[in-house]
Amino acid sequence: MSTFTWTRRKRALGRFWEDFRKQRGGLAGLVILVVAVTLAVVAPLFIDQGVTSVVENTGPRWSPPSLDYPFGTDESGRSILLMVWWGSRTSLLIGFLAALLTVGIGTVLGIAAGHFRGWIGAVIMRVTDWFLVLPSLVTALVLAAILGGSTFTIIMAIGVTSWPSTARLIRAQTLAVEARPYIERSKALGGGHWHITTRHVLPNVAPLLLASTTLQVASAIVTESTLAFLGVTANKTSWGTMLRGSYDWNAASYGAWWYILIPGLCILAVVMAFTLCGRALETVLNPRLRKAGA
């Protein structure tokens, strides 16, 4: 039985892949992501924290890209290439975890607000609206400043401020699913709140969640960079802190364009890759959502 179910799932996955492959942008994004994530994961096999140390690096300062330093060096003679490589770990980690937190909070509150129609839903929505109108960057800055700088704080600061839009999205989808007769049937069969939300609502909002998570990662990476640029950092090298460094050390006046451009391009490439993937997922999954709803 379960093997049959498994074959069916596999076939469905195959169909999904067929559709996704037709989305050229999404495919390009996926390739960039796979490369970026693989590099970040295997980085410790080749380099370590040392590449970011001012003490250990004794290369030439402000060296333009050369054979020895393909992306040039910074004010302390550190290799931009190695720093960008090492920094990708922090940037991607914060991006992923913050997005998971965002989507996690957003999903729970969104489903709750959509499922419990009465005063509970109303209260959740008021809270959501309140968070929605808060200037999220400022809030994140304040939060991070109060909690002190660490990876955890940055993730919390991003997660706590960016969930409301996900919550709204999930609530809307939950309302649509809950209007379907099979929810009524499930209630009549004796299904409680937990049963209905986990067995019926969640699987039906899942595709939407996948697409939304992907887009959230991109926005979390940007937020992290922004926070770092504004001075709120996890005290670890990330693409954002590198940009901040280039600004602090007046890279522009030294003509060290590589110091600014390389981390910037990295952010751009990864964010764009996530966005492309997210959009492609939306296109592929949405018609199926509509079909499933009909």
Partner 1 sequence: MTETQAPAEEVTTARRTLLEARDLHVEFASRGRRARAVDGVNLAVGEGEIVALVGESGCGKTTLARTLLGLEKPTSGTVRYGGEPLRYASRALKDYRRQVQLVLQDPMGSLNPRQTVYEAVAEGPRIHGLPDEADVVNNALARAGLRPPERFLLRYPHELSGGQRQRVVIAGALALDPKVLIADEPVASLDASVRGEILALMLRLRDELGLSALVVTHDLGLAWNIADRVAVMYLGRIVESGPVEQVLTAPRHPYTQALLSVLPESPERVVLTGEPPDPTRIPGGCRFHARCQVLASGKAAEAGVDARCRGELLEILPASAGAQAACYYADATG
Question: How many degrees, rounded to 5, is the angle at CA 241 between CA 79 and CA 56?
Answer: 35
Q: Which one of 133, 146, 190, 253 is in contact with partner 1 (CB under 8 A)?
A: 190
| CB 7 to partner 1: min, Å | 9
Q: What angle do the packed helices 80-115 and 119-133 form, to 10 degrees?
A: 150
| CB 188 to partner 1: min, Å | 4
91 or 197: CB nearest partner 1 = 197
**227, 91 contact by CB (below 8 A):** no
| CB 251 to partner 1: min, Å | 53
3-state DSSP call for residue 55? Answer: coil
Whole-angstrom Cα distance, residue 256 to residue 77? 12
* Contact window for partner 1 (CB under 8 A) among 79-87, 103-111, 112-120, 189-197: 189-197
| CB 40 to partner 1: min, Å | 34
73 forms beta bridges with: 79
Whole-angstrom Cα distance, residue 99 to residue 125? 21
Confirm or reject binding of residue 192 to partner 1 (CB under 8 A). Answer: yes
Confirm or reject binding of residue 119 to partner 1 (CB under 8 A). Answer: no
79 forms beta bridges with: 73
Confirm or reject binding of residue 191 to partner 1 (CB under 8 A). Answer: yes
Q: Which one of 4, 55, 119, 146 is in contact with partner 1 (CB under 8 A)?
A: 4
Whole-angstrom Cα distance, residue 131 to residue 157? 13
| CB 288 to partner 1: min, Å | 9
Confirm or reject binding of residue 187 to partner 1 (CB under 8 A). Answer: yes
Q: Tell me, residue by residue from 194 to 233, as one string, x for binding to partner 1 by CB under 8 A and - for no binding.
A: -x---xx--xx-----------------------------
Q: Which one of 18, 182, 250, 286 is in contact with partner 1 (CB under 8 A)?
A: 182
| CB 172 to partner 1: min, Å | 19
**34, 282 contact by CB (below 8 A):** no
267 forms beta bridges with: none
| CB 15 to partner 1: min, Å | 13
Whole-angstrom Cα distance, residue 68 to residue 84? 16
**Sign of CA pseudo-dihedral 250, 252, 255, 257:** positive
Number of residues that bind partner 1 (CB under 8 A): 25
| CB 204 to partner 1: min, Å | 7
Backbone angles phi, psi at 164, to 5 degrees: -60, -35
CA atoms within 13 Å, Cβ hemisphere of 182: 12
Whole-angstrom Cα distance, residue 221 to residue 94? 7
148 or 203: CB nearest partner 1 = 203
Q: Tell me, residue by residue from 262 to 291, as one string, x for binding to partner 1 by CB under 8 A and - for no binding.
A: -----------------------------x
- Residues of the shown chain interacting with partner 1 in the complex, contacts defined by CB under 8 A: 1, 4-5, 8, 180-182, 184-192, 195, 199-200, 203-204, 291-294
